[in-house]
Structure 1
Amino acid sequence: VRRAAFEAAEAVGVASESTRDRAIERAADGLGVDSEVIDDDLYADRDTRQVLVDADVRWGPDTLLDQYNLSLAQTALFDATEVRVRSADPKALVSAVKRLGLLYELRRTDDGRELVVTGPDRLFRRTRRYGTAFARLLRTVAKTAEWRLEATIDDRGTERTMTLSERDVSVPGVDPVAEPDFDSGVEADFAGRFRALDLDWTLVREPEPLETGTRVMIPDFAFDYDHADFRLYFEVMGFWTPEYVEKKLGQLADVEDVDLLVAVDESLGVGEEIAARDHRVVTYAGRVRVKRVVDVLREYESEFVAEAAAALPAEIVPDDDVVTLEAVAEGYGTGVEALDGARFPAHERVGRTLVRPAVLETVADELDSGMTLAAAEAVLDEYGIGETSAALSRLGYRVEWEGLGGGTLQETDS
């Protein structure tokens, strides 16, 4: 369009409005459009001439105002040295605080629990270096239904207090602090290796808060025993500053009426002091050894197994002809280990399965030397016997393998 208009202007010789109009009309005739189109499109590619016809607006007016208020509050928190929060969900706040690398104390007050948040360097001096983390924490705080936040702000050397609540700041559509699974590599490493074990214990991440005098603490983990109403709390203690260690020791001294296991970094040298407070202790260097923790759990487990075994009847006679020991133990609300000394007069133990002798006789009649292993397994499966190796051994058979073609039954040599 512009080329056609300029060529027409050169031919006409534009020197006035009338000659400009003739040049526009000439260009329009050449392009086969109205002269108004040439006039409108001549500089339409310039930013100042572009017309907004549609906009993909992320926020409406109310949401935009909420975001603006949030940004103002976060900007003020950049200069915060300490933040105090009361929330309907203190556990979620503690998780976020840990993710952000901050320190906290959870205190009990007349108005409920108050979370006092600082940074590690706050133990040594006043600092504003954790303001960004405080600002990010506000997202998680504002996610809860009811909350109140007080922050100590360093306003160029003047200490001021900022107070916010759910009436002042809301965060619609904005996610709180992202919560990875663990606070540290030590905890993540331990949890991964522990959960890979097939134990009768369930690992719980950050259980309910424990009262420690006028304050509370949230342990890193808890172990729940699958066959009894018992929970062992587990705290990994690895922060090195003396002030932090002293504060943690004070918390551990005031924890009462719970079973607590503490994994202590050997470099802290406080294992004996914690043990003197009647808590179980395992030490570690670099990573928590799962075996040491499992050994402690086994001690508790042996007590539960002994109690469960003592409560079992002298003789156990299941109704089913074939039943697993796991099913019997589950019926009594205990683990399989509690059945080690139990007597089953109407059944035989075949591996970890109880089978009535009559069923074994019937199965024996259907098996024969030379039968394929697949056919034998089908017979055992028909009667609900899943432990092929133990059952065949009990009935006097072994499996003879023939390359990759499968196995056949052979009678065991007497």
Structure 2
Amino acid sequence: MLPTELLMFSFRAGLVLPKVLKPSPTNLSLISQLVGLFESHVGHRRFELEAELRALEAGRQDYRVIRGLAHILLTDHSEFEAGGSVEPLVVRQQVFALAQEHPPGRHHRAEVLAQAAQRLGSDPQALTEALYADLPDQQTLMSFEAPEARTLLDRFNLAQAQGQLYRAYNVIITARRNEPARYKQLLKYTKFFGLMVTVEGDADTGFTLTMDGPTSLFGSTTRYGLSLAKFLPALLHVTKWDLSAAVKPRHLPWIDSKDEEWSFQLSSDDGYVSHYPEPKEHDSALESGFAERFAKLDTPWTLEREVDLLPIPGGVIIPDFRLLHEDGRSVLVEIVGYWRPEYLTRKFAALKRSGRTDLIVAVSERLNVEKAGVKLGALEDHVIVFKGVLDPKRVLELAERLAQG
């Protein structure tokens, strides 16, 4: 993804339109120059490469395009290391210690480096190069994997679209009629990226997914905005969808707008290309951590990951797990990580409409439920509020009580 200062977009009639680079001769030539520049600097320090990049963009109106393409090449296609045979930290410790022992003088630096080199079994020139070699601009470009020009264009264009979700109030996805497996895949993507989502609709006509954005949370979080942005390439694996996001305006001198919110819209027909491999399994960190801890327990309960869609009036829920006892009893488990009061209220309303009495809801204590004004009502006996990690023993205790009923 790209930092905010490298996002490029136009603004028209309340709509944010991300920059799209086409495979024109000019752009392909620019990519060829950039790739050649990186390839020629393998084995050289990062500051040398960055100096060449600054020289390339000097005086050009498309300098931000160059910076955006270079950012992707630097972060996703380049490997930087300190290089050399001596650890920079070890060199600094030795050199600084010797510097304290030698009084300043005309040959002070050379004497210190010579003595340090002798102690470390190296030479003064190698120590000079290694002294600060672990600093970012002093690191060496060890390898560079050049992408295809079209692949780099696709990454740049998608990154521009992703960046519009950093400041989203909410995101609404309309999944038009798909294969049933595609619906499940879409919902599992939201769970994998830890997104707060409510679902309405049915498998015959399609579903509407509403996801709360980072600016709707108590204390806007960059981390959640990044999760929304990371979700977009995953969404591209799903067919037939439309996305609409309400975006917090950016006050820029070249945009004359007093709107309180902007609109960002995408669809499966816009031609964006995902660089994500289609995953075989999706788990959030909360879910995978819970499963790992559960696997260490000696219990007659089995934890199942694959749970079918459960239709409810006006929507669907897809629990994270099913607990299956060896005697045939079962309980569903839903883990809620990020949340805000309105989201949790809607979530509980959906669960109440489901009429399920065999459902456990584990809620992360990111906010105090009572202080936030969330009414648990009839679901109070089905809720576990956890801090940090979810203890599977607590879940099993509640599963035993619910399964008895």
Shorter-chain TM-score category? 0.3 to 0.5
Q: If the length of structure 1 is used for normalisation, what is the TM-score?
A: 0.46
- Work out which structure has the larger RCO, using CA pairs closer than 8 Å and 6 or more positions apart in sequence: 2
Please identify the structure whose Cα radius of gyration is greater: 1
